[in-house]
Amino acid sequence: MEMGRVIGSLTATQKDGQLEGLVLRLLQPVDADDCPVGEIVVATDSIGADEGQLVFYVTAYEAVIPLRKQPALTDATIIGIIDSMNIPSDGN
């Protein structure tokens, strides 16, 4: 899984019917220092993350699992809100 910060959401009137009712979050992937890395991801959300929160998300085929239906039209889903990263100073 990867870490990202929720920076906003997408509005899309014209979209595939399978996306009806799903929130589309905009995620900025971040590193362990919370610095942006790589490009923004459009993600579905199984836990109700808010804007500004640090989260982790699953990609590819596994992203459909949290939506509790098969098939589900997504390749990235937020699955947890990060309380803290525990990195001992001698761990790196």
Residues contributing to the site for a second copy (CB under 8 A): 1-3, 5-16, 18-19, 24, 26, 28-29, 31-32, 36-43, 46-47, 51-52, 56, 58-66, 71-76, 79-88, 90-92
Cα dihedral 38, 43, 49, 51 in deg (nearest 10): 50
Q: How far is the CB of 21 from a second copy (least distance, A)?
A: 13
Q: How far is the CB of 48 from a second copy (least distance, A)?
A: 8
> Cα(82)–Cα(75) distance, rounded to whole angstroms?
20
